[in-house]
A and B are shown apart, each in its own frame.
Chain A
Amino acid sequence: EAQVTQNPRYLITVTGKKLTVTCSQNMNHEYMSWYRQDPGLGLRQIYYSMNVEVTDKGDVPEGYKVSRKEKRNFPLILESPSPNQTSLYFCASQQSGYNSPLHFGNGTRLTVT
């Protein structure tokens, strides 16, 4: 089954404790991206990757890192999480071409205390 898999689904952590949210897709998509969803705001893009070893900042990259060492994986790293990073996070992938839709993972609800 074609899918984007995110883990974990829920995570509660403390300020400053490094964490990684994993994202993996099995559709051989070139494009992958991370978003955060906060109340009253639309999904905001954190980082995106056009292909292996190619990553770029989205609109809200501060406090986040990503890597794209393999085509299927695009982990989101919070080196020193802070309470303002409490949010719902989505990973998505897209086949090359502007006619292609985004395929979303199931989301990760992160709480930083």
Chain B
Amino acid sequence: ILNVEQSPQSLHVQEGDSTNFTCSFPSSNFYALHWYRWETAKSPEALFVMTLNGDEKKKGRISATLNTKEGYSYLYIKGSQPEDSATYLCAANTGNQFYFGTGTSLTVIP
């Protein structure tokens, strides 16, 4: 079992603030790091999949970086909007299996 940790557990920010979350994972047996956005009463939706050390990916105001040597990934949201409110999950893929963190719950206050 791989221990994937996310911090903080929850976050409240004002509209327009930028924010970031952390996902840490054991760097051995690593194949890929996934980020998902999960809104209440819906299913998780993929944001990014990263495999290489130093990877950086961006989708609109959201971006992510990956450090496989030290075992962490950051997710950044620039200029948070109320529609960004959701739980953000990361998962480490070790080949055939996926190990999820408990998520960071983001609330953006208008």
Mark A residues whose CB is within 8 Å of B.
33, 35, 40-45, 48, 50, 56, 58-59, 90, 98-107
* A53 → chain B closest CB, angstroms: 15
Q: Within the assembled complex, what's the spacing in Å between the Cα atoms of A58 and B93? A: 12
Contact of B89 among A42, A44, A99, A106 (CB under 8 A): A42
Q: Is the CB of A98 within 8 A of B1?
A: no
Bound form: Cα–Cα A99–B50 in Å? 7
**A42 touching B101 in the complex, CB below 8 Å, given contacts A98-B51, A100-B49, A101-B49:** yes
Indicate if the CB atoms of B32 and A98 lie closer than 8 Å: yes
Contact partners of A59 in chain B: CB under 8 A: 1, 97, 99
Q: Mark B41-73, 1 if CB is under 8 A from A, else 0.
A: 011111001010000000000000000000000
Cβ–Cβ contact A42 & B4, under 8 A: yes
Which residue from B43, B46, B97, B99 sits with its C-beta under 8 Å from A106?
A: B43
The answer for the CA separation of A45 and B99 in the assembled complex, in Å, is 7
The list of the 3 closest CB pairs from A to B, nearest first, reads A101-B46, A42-B100, A104-B43
| Contact between chains at A48 and B49 (CB < 8 Å) | no
Identity of the chain A residue whose Cβ is nearest the Cβ of B31 in the assembled complex: A98
> Is B44 a contact partner of A42 (Cβ separation < 8 A)?
no
B60 CB to nearest A CB, Å: 17
The smallest beta-carbon distance between B107 and chain A, in angstroms, is 18
Cβ-defined contact, B43 with A105, below 8 A: yes
- Residues from chain A with a CB closer than 8 A to the CB of B77 are none
Question: How many whole Å from A25's CB to the nearest CB in chain B?
Answer: 13
Contact A102 to B46, CB < 8 A, known contacts A42-B4, A42-B89, A43-B91: yes
Contact assessment for A107 and B43 in the assembled complex, using a CB-CB cutoff below 8 Å: yes
Closest to B3 in A: A42
A100 cross-chain contacts in B, Cβ below 8 A: 49
Is the CB–CB distance between A90 and B102 below 8 Å? no
Judge whether B96 is part of the interface by a CB distance below 8 angstroms.
Answer: yes
Known: A42-B102, A98-B49, A101-B46. 4 other contacts (CB 8 A): A45-B99, A48-B96, A58-B97, A106-B42
Instruction: Give the chain A neighbours of B96 by CB distance below 8 A.
Output: 48, 50, 56
